[in-house]
Structure 1
Amino acid sequence: MSTSETTEHPAKRQKMEKVIGTHNGTFHCDEALAVYLLRLTQEYAGADLKRTRDPAVLDTCTIVVDVGGVYDEAKQRFDHHQRGFTEIFGHGFNTKLSSAGLVYKHFGKEIIANLLKTTVDDPRIEVLWLKLYREFIEAIDAIDNGINQYPTDVPPKYRIRTDVSARVGHLNPAWNQKADAQTVDSLFLKASALVGGEFTDRLQYYADAWLPARDIVAAGLNARKNADSTGKIILFEAYAPWKEHLFELEADLAVAEAEKPIYVIYPDETGGQWRVQAVPVAPESFESRKALPEAWRGLRDDELSKASGVDGCVFIHASGFIGGNKTKEGALKLAKLALEL
């Protein structure tokens, strides 16, 4: 071993290593997730963790999250508590970021690419990056920053305290429970694994199930004039959840109101029958853009086939939002007739 190595100052040696710094004491969901996410990057994989509020110790850390009063990407400092901090995710999101959102904004695409074993230029990455912020990260940012989900002039009918931020908070020692720093640090790692595991599980679902469904809906939307020259009917050859994707894709593609589809045809989940469903006016709405004809509603089997003139009918719901036929051709005939009535 060389003389320089044996006499190297410990603080200097620590700076050469990758060390993540965050505050000690009571922990929250945002920094628990931020630390987990950083360890999914190439740069901070396997990095040590220092939980402290001592500025001298934080100065030796490679990156610091949720403490220190500085947001500076170049310096790898990601706090959000300082006066004047207003950073948001952008892309239509206006919620003030917490340390989780800051880390995700700067490292999220790399993290997703690493977990999916692909590269950041994979076209899926951008879609998943935005989707995970909307569905997972934004709520953590809002809760940590004290942003109410709804106006507070009307009291809620019930409380939700089973969200991931609440579950992380419950892992802290109780106010009257004695716990040394080592115990709290151990509980922090448990909290980090909890929220990080949920993040990776959610990503896997969106990559393996949600995104393939989006691809099916996009293909059907783009090819809808093959099903019917009006473009008012979408035909899916395979079953997939379609409502959320359809509305998002219509917005992304700026589909004009007059050109939006009215009915969707798809095989049911068992594959034994085909469905014709009216597109709702909004993803969560029970009101349809054009419900199936009133004269068919509530009818079944031969009675419905006789009323519609289409063989193989199974049912039309009493509200007219959905119906069924034994064949794809029969379901398509029902939809085409419904457009004219």
Structure 2
Amino acid sequence: AAPGGSRWPWGSSPRCPLQDAEIVRTRDPQLLAACDVVVDVGGEYDPGRHRYDHHQRSFTESMRSLRPDKPWSTKLSSAGLVYCHFGSQILAGLLGQPEDGPVVTALYDKLYENFVEEVDAMDNGIAPAAGEPRYALSTTLSARVGHLNPRWNDPDQDTEAGFRRAMELAGSEFLQRLDFYHRAWLPARALVEEAVRHRFEVDASGQVLELSQGGCPWKEHLFQLERELALPKPLQLVLFPDRGGQWRVQSVPTAPHSFQSRLPLPEAWRGLRDEALSELAGIPGCIFVHASGFIGGNQTREGALEMARRALELGGGTEST
């Protein structure tokens, strides 16, 4: 960060050297030596001097190695290094919350796991899973930033305009994600926790959760609450109303981001709709069951609850994939 470039777009903190910084792009050693903060170039990682490159052979740091209280072991890129050292300060400035308070702590972890870690992995060439990918991921943030570079055959090879657009793109997406997690995801925890505590009022099995509002981001909260409360039985199915006043019954996945279900809806129901489904299931008001069995719908709460109870009785057939 030095005079003569784009303006640093993030929040401010009395301890953050990035605030009010001008951003320049250079590999000139003399210019780098004059910078207060150097990111992604320079060949050194020295937080005491605010040097944050990750390309050198000796660099092996992850979030977990730098902050042992964190679980993530993905090798950091310079994006992750900046977030590791300044993320809490930046979030505190943007949210007007204490840096060491519960809101900033929760959102710091959430944004690393669901935004920054992907950037780290992509920049370091780390695949999301072992083996050959089944399809191409071509619309990630990293890919969209890459598409802002000049094309090989463009007469104008100036990268500055694309860099400014990339800053706006990444910055706006980060702020949008932060706003969602702060205003929607974080408040949803209280709703999910209340539903967990009242689950036996929904069904005697204690394995059916009822959410009072549809669209509530419940999965990660549920997994965390299951661990914190040491529930004797895992939740299997979740009921919630949709925006049209009908009801859904959804299987709890085996992990927050998994496509596999703990207890998919019965195999015989999958892919059926309306009267054909209601007749086969023996439950009035059925609307649909997804072909994978992960979700179904009914016109009423009672019908959706009966679908959940029947799924528990039948065992749900084979797991969906």
Cα distance between partner residues in 2 of 1:84 and 1:21: 30
Deviation (angstroms), 1:243:
5.9
Same amino acid, percent of matched pairs: 39
The one of 6, 12, 16 equivalent to 1:41 is 12
Matched, 1:220 2:195: yes
Cα displacement (A) at 1:172: 3.3
Deviation at 1:220, TM superposition (A): 1.6
Partner AA of 1:216 in structure 2: L
- Could you tell me how far 1:175 is from its partner in structure 2? 5.2
Q: Are residues 36 and 216 of structure 1, via their aligned partners in 2, closer, same or farther at CA, if it must alter by over 3 Å?
A: farther
Deviations 1:240-286 (A, max 9, x none): 24563255325643745x51122222212212x33333434455446
Number of positions where the alignment pairs a residue of Structure 1 with one of Structure 2: 304
Aligned mates of 1:158, 1:292 — CA distance in 2: 29
| Alpha-carbon distance change, 143 to 21 in structure 1, aligned in 2, over 3 angstroms | farther
For 2:2 and 2:176, locate their aligned partners in 1 and report how far apart those are by CA, in whole Å: 24
1:68-147 aligned at under 5 Å gives the runs 68-90=42-64, 91-147=70-126
Amino acid at match of 1:57: L
Q: Which segment drifts farther, 293-302 or 53-62? A: 293-302
Gaps of 5+ in 2: 65-69, 315-321
Per-residue deviation at 1:59? Answer: 2.6
Unaligned runs of 5+ in 1: 1-18, 25-31
Q: Distance in 2 between matches of 1:68 and 1:21?
A: 18
- Structure 1 residue 164 corresponds to structure 2 residue 141: yes
> Partner residue of 1:276?
249
Alignment correspondent of 2:67: none
Amino acid at match of 1:65: V
Q: Is the 8 A contact 2:272 2:289 kept in 1?
A: yes
Query: 2:174 pairs with 188, 196, 199, which one?
Result: 199
- Letter of the 2:145 counterpart: V
SS in 2 for 1:275: strand
Query: How does the TM-score come out when normalised to structure 2?
Result: 0.75
Q: Distance in 2 between matches of 1:302 and 1:145?
A: 51
TM-score (norm 1): 0.71
Amino acid at match of 1:117: G
**Of the candidates 160, 168, 186, which is equivalent to residue 211 of structure 1?**
186
Measured after TM superposition, the shift of residue 101 of structure 1 is 0.6
Cα offsets for 1:284-310 (capped at 9, x unmatched) = 4465526359699958569949975x7
Which position in structure 2 is the counterpart of 1:235? 210
Contact 1:21–1:58 (CA<8 Å) still a contact in 2? no
Aligned mates of 1:131, 1:96 — CA distance in 2:
18
Instruction: Kindly indicate whether residue 265 of structure 2 is the aligned counterpart of residue 317 of structure 1.
Output: no
Q: Determine if contact 2:97/2:103 at 8 Å carries over to the other structure.
A: no
Relative contact order (C-alpha < 8 Å, sep 6+): which is higher? 1
Shift in alpha-carbon separation, 1:41–1:235, aligned structure 2, 3 A:
same
Larger Rg: 1
CA distance in 1, matches of 2:114, 2:127: 16
Deviates further, 46-55 or 105-114: 46-55
**1:3 equivalent in structure 2:** none
Instruction: Label 1:83 to 1:315 Cα distance change in 2 as closer, same or farther (>3 A).
Output: closer
What does the per-residue CA deviation read over 1:213-252, in whole Å, with 9 as the maximum and x for residues that have no partner? 4443233223323333432121111112456325532564
